[in-house]
């Protein structure tokens, strides 16, 4: 499943082909992904110039000079194919730029989405209005997390997955950041010391930044025929390593289920 670093890398990869470019042609090969493509999408995008690209949580943003933003979500299996050599039956939306580049939004399982939003009201758009701060932005601070955790008996891990507290943080990154900060995932959020939160905030940013950096090396593949965004196979220190040694201390990694999601953690490193 594409997580924040994959979306960020996708956006950076797309920017190389789209920023400042005119969209010459938009083709929809079906009517919907998870929900129907917005009415007027083809008309709004055709002939528009892409002014810039961005990301909010796990959504990619393509801003145009018509004051519209195309917002895409990759769902479970979505990816952009750059200059595909041959069409694929899951290329549901295809953009062609004035410079002749072809970019296909491919989504086999169709849990993704595409919306068209007025750029001026973008951050009041319902899916964005209640989101917490970007984890890589300056609004994610010790102060912000301390306020969100205050008085909460709930375990810290599911709170970090709550998009209203931090936007776009996924299961892998929360597991890894908690290990690196030495915090037990089932510790009551309200009982976590200020000092521990001081360790956690930079670790959240580091684990995401490192993944984006690792993914950056795949950007060169965008130039290749059939280039696709691959998902990063990073060397996680605890994630997915049940019963294997923790990469910090060698103790076997444990797994527990919290809110229906697997949590991987180290009983020695995390208190
Ligand atoms: Zn350990």
pLDDT at 230: 45
Q: How far is the CA of 256 from the centre of ligand 1 (A)?
A: 15
C-alpha 108/C-alpha 65 separation (Å) is 31
Model confidence at 203: pLDDT above 50: yes
Q: How far is the CA of 199 from the centre of ligand 1 (A)?
A: 16
User: Which has more confidence, 85 or 264?
Assistant: 264
190-204 average pLDDT score: 98
Number of other residues whose CB lies within 10 A of the CB of residue 73:
20
pLDDT at 226: 38
255-271 average pLDDT score: 97
Mean pLDDT taken over the chain: 92
Give tens-digit pLDDT for 6-17: 899 889 889 999
Q: H or E segment at 200?
A: helix 194-216
Q: How far is the CA of 267 from the centre of ligand 1 (A)?
A: 7
For residue 77, what pLDDT band results from cuts at 50, 70 and 90? confident
C-alpha 35/C-alpha 110 separation (Å) is 9
Q: How far is the CA of 7 from the centre of ligand 1 (A)?
A: 29
CA distances from 114 to 15, 38, 57, 96, 264 (A): 17, 7, 15, 17, 33
Provide the pairing of β-strand 113-118 with 102-107. unpaired
- Active-site residue list: 2-3, 58, 261
> Nearest CA to 140 among 208, 190, 83?
208
pLDDT at 63: 98
Cα 235 from chain centre: 18
Give tens-digit pLDDT for 213-258: 877 655 444 333 334 444 455 678 999 999 999 999 999 999 999 9
256-271 average pLDDT score: 97
- Residue 18, judged by CB atoms within 10 A of its CB (0-12, 13-18, 19+), counts as buried
Q: How far is the CA of 271 from the centre of ligand 1 (A)?
A: 11
């Amino acid at each position: 499943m594409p997580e924040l670093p994959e979306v960020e890398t996708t956006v950076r990869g797309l920017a190389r082909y789209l920023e400042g470019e005119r969209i010459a042609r938009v083709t929809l090969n079906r009517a919907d992904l998870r929900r129907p493509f917005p009415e007027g999408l083809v008309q709004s995008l055709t002939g528009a110039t892409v002014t810039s690209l961005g990301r909010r949580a796990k959504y990619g943003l393509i801003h145009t000079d018509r004051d519209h933003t195309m917002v895409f979500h990759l769902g479970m299996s979505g990816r952009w194919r750059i200059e595909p050599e041959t069409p694929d039956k899951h290329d549901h939306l295809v953009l062609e730029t004035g410079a002749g580049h072809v970019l296909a939004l491919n989504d086999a399982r169709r849990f993704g989405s595409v919306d068209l939003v007025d750029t001026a009201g973008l951050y009041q758009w319902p899916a964005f209005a209640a989101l917490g701060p970007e984890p890589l932005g300056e609004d994610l601070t010790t102060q912000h997390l301390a306020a969100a955790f205050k008085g909460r008996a709930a375990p810290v891990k599911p709170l970090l997955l709550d998009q209203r507290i931090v936007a776009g943080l996924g299961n892998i990154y929360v597991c890894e950041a908690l290990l690196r900060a030495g915090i037990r995932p089932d510790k009551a959020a309200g009982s976590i010391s200020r000092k521990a939160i001081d360790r956690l905030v930079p670790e959240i940013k580091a684990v995401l930044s490192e993944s984006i950096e690792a993914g950056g090396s795949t950007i060169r593949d965008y130039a290749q025929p059939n280039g696709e965004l691959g998902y990063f196979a990073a060397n996680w220190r605890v994630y997915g390593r049940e019963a294997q040694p923790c990469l910090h201390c060698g103790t076997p990694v444990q797994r527990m289920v919290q809110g229906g999601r697997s949590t991987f953690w180290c009983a020695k490193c995390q208190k």
